[in-house]
Each structure stands twice: as structure tokens, then as C-alpha cells.
Structure 1
Amino acid sequence: MPTAYAALEDRLLVCVDTTGSGWETSVRLEGYRLECVAVSPDAPERAFVGTFEDGLFRSSDAGDSFEPLETPFVSEAVTSLAISPHDPDVLYAGTEPSRVYRSEDAGDSWEPLEGIVDLPSAEEWFFPPRPHTHHVRWLEVDPFDPDRLYVGIEAGAFVYSDDGGETWQERPTGSRRDNHTLAVHPDRRGRVYTAAGDGYAESDDGGESWHHPQEGLEHTYCWGLAVDPGDPDSVIVSSASGARSAHSADTASSYVYRRSTAGSEDAAEASWERLADTGLPTGDGVVRALFDTTDEPGVVYAVNNQGLFVSEDFGGRWESLGLEWSEEYEEQTPRGLAVVDT
């Protein structure tokens, strides 16, 4: 049965499908400023949550309790997490200011992966709300090569390493600058996806070059991203006209788009379709959605400020999980979503 970890701004919702009795929700880490959450399907009893002011937390009992971890990070702002698909004990963390760290024992000890801020473009990186700094917004490990890492810097660069973080390459041809969410697919070697503030992009050579399928994508400030586990050519994104309409509940107006190249004679010409009247709230008053999948084809989960939802046809129709969703939650912008079968 699935367990969904939804990180809101100031608490973590641990939602368990009790099969027959609906979903049960427990609140954890209330009062902390959450940034990200990660769970591995190969070790579903472990969950990690990054916070902006209090470092990194780990649960070893499927979200029943959390403990703070001692880390050597440059700051207590843990802005991104990734668990290797090759080994659930291998965990990566990104921080503000931008640094990347690796643990090979599920967070007990850490080593820095040096060199990120020595890249030539680093002097140009900045995060508009805090322009004196920047952070690692997303980390991804290639499913075919455990030493190939993908990093999204907010804002300034897409960065990758093909040697486990010994060396880094930045801003390859066509890459986006304001990467928010990266994704890969276990059935498509070399494919990397990004939802960025400067638009959507895909790579077919492990991030070394990029193309920009934008046709039909009317809102190009992209944030949330998921790929159908059963079809690497089916992609869903959340997007808005800009940061204020994506993230601020009082000015929000965000949308969800789906694109599929399956069966297309010319994949480059496949266009995006805006998903409307599907059961997933979009438009005025709705902040950008975050998505996650398990390994079940066609199944995708979404969270926004209106609730937690699931689709079994990759976005065609959505159902609410029926959680108790307070007015306080409606004023928040979710920070992370991780769903795992337990």
C-alpha cells in the first residue's frame, strides 16, 4: 500500500492508504521550515526531510518519528535530496549556498563533492528573493550510471558530473538556467527532463545537449514534473506565468500540462495539452503542483494548496485522496512530495 509524504511549508503530512478505510494522515515536524523530502522504494521504511533552518531529519520507521542528523554542511539550509536508484544507502544533499554532499551510509556520515562553486558561471548565480546567494534546487542520479549526477542550480545553471562528483560540467548547449525539477527514466538511457523557470527542456544524451519542445505550453514558468513510469515519452508539468502566480497563494494562478510523443511520426512536433476539468484544481487561487510516481504505469500523485490527488491514467482524471485539508493548508505552498509503496 502507498505512503505519501507531503512537505508543506511548516509541517510534514505522512499519509497512509489503509485499504478499505481510506487514507490516514499524521503530522510530523510541525513548526519547521521544510524544503524537500526523499524516500527510496528499496528502503521504504526510511524517509529524509530537509529544512531551511534546522538541517536534515531522518525517519527509520516509515514516518512515525524523525531524528535530526549531524552533518558537516556549509549551512543548515538543505534544499534538495536524492537517493541513488542503485543503492538506497547512497544519499545526496544540496544546500544553500550551493554545495553537494554524499552519504554512503544513509546519512550517518558525509563527504563534500567539491568544485561546484569553482565553475566559471558561479559568479552569475543568484536567487532573486535572496540575490546574494543561490542553492541546489534539485539533484538526480542517472538510473543507468551511478556516477552520473545531474544538478539544478537556482538560479544559474544546469550542472552534471560523469565521475561521481570528482569533476563538473556546466551549462551544456541548450540547457536551462533556472532549473526547478529534474527527472530521468529507467527505460530510456540518456533521457533527462527539466521543468525550469525559463521553460521546459529535454536531453537525450545525458544532459550534454538539450532541445525545447514548447508547442502548446502557454505558461512557461515550469515547476512540478513527472514522467509516466510506463512511458518515457509521457510527461506532465505544472506551470504558471511567473513566480508570483506559481508560489503565492494570494496571487496564484497555475496550470497543468501533459505531453506525449508515443505514436507520433515526428516526436519533435508533439504538443502540450492543458489539463482542465480533470478533478485536479488549477487556475486562480491554486499554486503550482508537485508530482511524484511509484513504479506503477500511468499512476501519478499531485499536491497543491487544495489537497493531495491521484490519477491512474497519467493526468486524464484525478481523484482527491480525501484528506482533511484545512484553510491553513490552502495558504501554503507545498515544498516536496514523495510517494512509496510500503
Structure 2
Amino acid sequence: MRLLAAFPDRVLSYDDGDRRAVFDGDVQCLDAGPLGAYCGTSDGVYRQSDGDPTEWTRVADVGDVTAVASADSGVWAGTEPSAVYRAPDGETFAECGGLTDLPSSGDWAFPPRPSTHHVRWVEPTPERLYVAVEAGALVRSPDGGETWQDRVPSGPYDTHSMATHGERPDLAYSAAGDGFYVTEDGGDSWRTEESGLDRTYCWSVVCDPGDPERVLVAAANGPRSAHDAGTASSAVYRRDGRDADWERCEDLPGPDGLLAASLAVTGAGDAVAATNRGLFRTDDWGASWAGIDAEWPTALESERPRGLVAR
């Protein structure tokens, strides 16, 4: 199993027990897909070399990159101030205009810095592109960023991450600061599904490749318990089907001292979690977890993960 896990000052590579840092910098986001592995930083987008995992090339000088997504449609980058860029070839990025022309954009603001806002998440699917602005809106584009559809009244306000499934094109999950949201009509309407969640500041979400109704989510009591090591109190929850309640995963560290985890899927029923206490794996969709890295760096025990991908 090959993993890349992003933390504020590095990207770690984990390959069958061998862990090493492969990138150093001001890391903010991470993704991998058909065109390779990409890291978003405060000074642009970097692509990992296919031949040498420690070599990264800056492929986009677009400023402060706060979201990145690699998909069949190309590589997408979101920035602060809020803008979206696309590189169909994975290297040549161009801005998708019109995002901040949406009527709701006057309300967008990131609370600690109310004078600005940024793109927190980009979720490309064959049918549409979702873009989450922190904070204020989850918007959509039906044509790859040519035009935009504004937020809807029932939608999440503060989406941190999303999950979609290839077999259910209109299904999407939003892990948001204002709760856990589901749409089954491509974002035209949303509802919250929180029965069993005792923490509803949601951060990272994945759905089972083998069953889109099975979901894992990382959640905390609020921003401080998700991001501040001094008050950390987060957990990972599992849901084993649409009609099931959420259950807290018990084989992970915390919740006291645990910062918000980053989740990734590795196969049907299989997932991994990057935390400030190490890397963990489940092969029964969160019913049990096991650590996969015994020698965790002390310096990372107070750092929230910035992203996790399986290669």
C-alpha cells in the first residue's frame, strides 16, 4: 500500500512500511489521480515526478493554493482569494472566470480574516464540478467552470470536503462546519443526516467504493477542537448504510488530543486515516482500525493533516 500524507511543513510517503518525507514546504492540500500527485502550497501547485518521488516541479504559479483535485477532466486548483484554475493536461493552468460574480459572493468571508475567503474544496465529477468556498457557499458548474450555479438555500454553508461515487452521479456528501449534508439530485437540494453524530463540525468524508451508502466522516465539536492541539477533541464515525445511525470508531486515538483526521479509500470496505497520532487502516469500513506506522514523528503530534491519498 502506497500513501501520501500531507502535513503543514511536509508530505510523507508511506510504502509497505517505509516512511519518508518527500516534499518540504508550506503544504495546504494534496491529491492524486490519473495525471499524478499534486501538492498545493502558499506559492502554487507542485507535481510529483513519476521517476523520483522526492522531486516536485512547480506547475502553477497561481498564488496561495488552498484546494487541489486530480481527475479525468484534468487538475483543478482553488486559491485564496477565491478562484478556480484548471489544467486539462496537468501542467498548463488557466483561470475559470466568473466565480466571484455569483450573487452570494458578497457574503463570503473567512471568519478569522473577514476581508477575504478561499476555495476549500474542488470536487470534479463527469456531470458537474462542485466548488466549496470557505466560508459561504457550495457552488456548481455544469460545464467545467465555464458558467456557475450559486448556492441553494438548503445547502451547506461551510463545506470542508466532499465525496461522490461514480455509480451514483447525483449523490454527493458534504462534510461541513455546519453539519453533515447529503444531496441526491446533484446539488439542487440538500438535507442533513446526523443521527448518532455527537460532533457535527465535519471535516473529512469518504464513501465506500463498493457501496455508496456506506460513509466515514471525521468530525469535531468545533473549529478549536478540530485544529488547535491544545483543545483537540475529534473522532471518526462510520455509517453502514443509508438507514443506519452514525457510530463512533473506537480503535483510533482520542477523541481527546486528536485533531481532525484526513480520510482516504483504498478499496471496497477499506480506508485509511491520517491523524496527528499516526496512520491507521481499516478493512471492515471502520468497525476496527489498526496502526500502520509505529514510529510516528513527535513533531507531527500537534499538527493537523492537510490531506491523504492512496496511490
* TM-score in terms of structure 1 length: 0.87
Instruction: Kindly indicate whether residue 286 of structure 2 is the aligned counterpart of residue 286 of structure 1.
Output: no
Instruction: Kindly indicate whether residue 193 of structure 2 is the aligned counterpart of residue 221 of structure 1.
Output: no
Shift of 1:271: 1.9
Instruction: Kindly indicate whether residue 10 of structure 2 is the aligned counterpart of residue 26 of structure 1.
Output: no
Shift of 1:47: 1.2
Please state whether the residue corresponding to 1:328 is helix, strand or coil.
helix
Aligned equivalent of 1:50: 40
Over 3 Å counting, the alpha-carbon distance change for 1:72 and 1:288 in structure 2 is closer
CA contact (8 A) 1:57 1:66 kept: no
| Unaligned runs of at least 5 residues, structure 2 | none
Instruction: Kindly indicate whether residue 189 of structure 2 is the aligned counterpart of residue 199 of structure 1.
Output: no
- 5 Å matches for 1:1-342? 2-17=1-16, 23-30=17-24, 32-40=25-33, 42-43=34-35, 46-52=36-42, 54-61=43-50, 64-71=53-60, 73=62, 76-84=63-71, 86-87=72-73, 90-107=74-91, 109-142=92-125, 144-145=126-127, 148-261=128-241, 267=243, 270-276=244-250, 278=251, 280-294=252-266, 296-340=267-311
Shift of 1:111: 1.3
Over 3 Å counting, the alpha-carbon distance change for 1:36 and 1:29 in structure 2 is same
Q: Quote the Cα distance in structure 2 between the aligned partners of 1:16 and 1:240.
A: 29
Name the amino acid aligned to 2:289. W
Q: Quote the Cα distance in structure 2 between the aligned partners of 1:26 and 1:97.
A: 33
CA contact (8 A) 1:311 1:317 kept: yes
Q: Quote the Cα distance in structure 2 between the aligned partners of 1:82 and 1:120.
A: 25
Deviates more, 1:56-65 or 1:167-176: 56-65
Pairwise CA RMSD of aligned residues?
1.5
Shift of 1:62: 6.2
Name the amino acid aligned to 1:332. E
Greater strand share, 1 or 2?
2
CA contact (8 A) 1:47 1:63 kept: no
Q: Quote the Cα distance in structure 1 between the aligned partners of 2:66 and 2:290.
A: 30
Q: Quote the Cα distance in structure 1 between the aligned partners of 2:280 and 2:209.
A: 17
Name the amino acid aligned to 2:37. A
Over 3 Å counting, the alpha-carbon distance change for 1:322 and 1:62 in structure 2 is farther
Report percent identity of matched pairs.
43
Please state whether the residue corresponding to 2:191 is helix, strand or coil.
coil
CA contact (8 A) 2:49 2:57 kept: no
| Unaligned runs of at least 5 residues, structure 1 | 18-22
Shift of 1:71: 2.8
CA contact (8 A) 1:217 1:273 kept: yes
Please state whether the residue corresponding to 1:245 is helix, strand or coil.
helix
